[in-house]
Structure 1
């Protein structure tokens, strides 16, 4: 039996020349990758036989990874390091389109930059064939419409298992960097699940960082999260934006551990959530800009929940007010503050810290445990 060999390919092998548009070379390279997969002896999804190596800067003006029929897996693309290898999109196009094809894709040590505010990094469309993408030590910068968009019809249940490890996200996003549920009328998109961000530097100028119009299970651990500016039109930018909509109970989960947040403008929010599932902040802080006069204002509420289900803050250092809007009778609601503290002295009472609104505000269920400011 012949041992399978992995072929290393580069855009330069397909005509890419430094200083010239490399779009056609990338398209030829990915076309070859699509045509040269091999059978997986233990499964039904073909396997890539090539590893892509990138070096230097590539300027492109159209989609590099085009839709292809069938499914494939195990594609690896490697650069030489953030900004040592960079792909620059110059037009309002998606850089990559994964239309229900690639699974098990790994990007290492590559930067992505857009010079057009209408550009998109990745459109991923799934009917069960798009999943398990990882980015390790990658970077996004420049001007984008959105970074990664996840979509699919009612029968779809994937676009899941996405991981970002030690990545950097800067630049600006007219919508969001990660936008799950581009067509939220599809209920099954609630099954887009399991997104992990590990020790990332999330530092965009403006735009929502994570926007989930449908459900999701999200884990964030470590890293520095900063909104360095504000939207030109004055609208808020949000680290976590979960708009209103119908969701299955089991797929509304966010756990954030050990993250330092800096909203850096009065309009910016840490979270704006309409989820009824479980949201937890553990060992987090958002008080780096507590010295700003607006941090003591009654209308400054960087954490906002509407008809919340489960919310827990454990060992957190907080600034501003927390706003809970209750328009329906609470159901299975438990909001808990455990060993947390308020940085601004004027917020160290229950009435000053909590901003309760809505027709059912008096029914909101909130408890404080071992509170560092003595709130009970």
Structure 2
């Protein structure tokens, strides 16, 4: 159909019927019009969106609604009228959005996304520099997904899949891989350029899976909010808020800053962090008191913070539960692990021996210091 005169596009204008009817064709036709009406940015080499997409109901789709297209574009906005009042339900096994090195400067406001197919994903983004700068405000994810957002891409020479942010979002549901999976092809060194991710005042309360998994890339900032893993995986494996697996990374990308967050992993197999990074990791003013009511003997195997061959780790003003496990399999180099004015909620964990679980062939060389410790550890 012809492009509506208004700069606001609605899937209803293309035949969508909010409710149970499949609206895939309507969404695809609408997005085709978004592509056709791009204007040339006079100061750059990208097309610029001239329309905002407005969603005001619950829509069911079964295939990707953003599909690969030639060229690069920027400035697209999706708006809803509120979480769950505006929702896209994905029933198929494809990614809901596919950004094939095309869109940057994309924004989502006041929307929900729900999957009824465990093979589906929310966004697959592959980039050689064209996919950057996506942001979500007051959005929500529900249902069971293979992964939420997957970042991939071939060798390139510029930053890619970078500068993404989430403000006051609700991450619900379940994720076989992770909600945010960066570095889907970790053999590609350039995927270390997946950089600069910010979560601000989010409610991360999901059923199981990893919240953030970074096989490549990094530089993550998390401020405020409540992070809860409500259940556990059916296969018996752990769910983790931060999973930073072993890999070869550039020193400059291995940075995680977490500030003012309350963590609740709930089940004893679940973890706050499982990291093999050798960069800088900091938790400031955080709590993880889900097991504060347990006795020390019941919490002996509860190690929600785990590090393998770490370099820089710092906890400042944190209230901690369980044991912290450090596994050192190589001689430490440029290592500094610091606990500054921290406290432990379980009585039997308020000593160095009770709190630290040191493992590996170089366990006796791990460098840990305690400053102004509230439990008197020195």
Give the TM-score taking structure 2 as reference length: 0.97
Q: CA deviation at 1:296?
A: 4.4
Partner deviation per Cα, 1:293-346 (whole Å, 9 max, x = no partner): 578432211000000010000000000000000001101110000000011010
**Would you say the 8 A contact 1:295–1:344 is kept in 2?**
no
Query: Using the alignment, how far apart are the partners of 1:289 and 1:342 within structure 2?
Result: 11
Q: What are the equivalent positions in structure 2 for 1:275-290 lying under 5 Å apart?
A: 275-290=277-292
Aligned residue in 1 for 2:246: 244
Distance, in Å, in 2 between the alignment partners of 1:236 and 1:144 is: 17
- C-alpha distance in 1, partners of 2:194/2:65? 25
In 2, Cα distance between the equivalents of 1:295 and 1:303? Answer: 18
Do the aligned partners of 2:296 and 2:348 also contact (CA within 8 Å) in 1?
no
Match in the other structure for 1:49: 50
Q: Is the 8 A contact 1:296 1:347 kept in 2?
A: no
For 1:304 and 1:6, locate their aligned partners in 2 and report how far apart those are by CA, in whole Å.
54
Spell out the pairing of 1:1-376 with structure 2 (5 A cutoff): 7-19=7-19, 20-155=21-156, 157-293=159-295, 296-376=298-378
Distance 2:262 2:140 in 1: 19
Aligned partners of 2:75 and 2:343: how far apart in 1?
A: 46
Secondary structure of 1:34's counterpart equals helix
SS across alignment from 1:266: coil
* Structure 1 residues 101 and 86, CA gap change in structure 2 (3 angstroms): same
8 Å contact kept, 2:295–2:348: no
Which structure 2 segments of 5+ residues have no match?
A: none
Counterpart Cα distance in 2 of 1:244 and 1:307: 10
Between the two proteins, the alignment pairs up a number of residues equal to 372
Asked if the contact 2:118/2:145 (under 8 Å) is kept, the reply is yes
Structure 1 residue 292 displacement after superposition: 3.3
Contact 1:295–1:319 (CA under 8 A) maintained in structure 2: no
Equivalent residue of 1:203, what SS? strand
- Kept in 2, the 8 Å contact 1:165–1:199? The answer is yes
Distance 1:285 1:315 in 2: 9
Task: Give 3-state SS (helix, strand or coil) of 1:161's partner.
Answer: strand
1:70 deviates by: 0.8
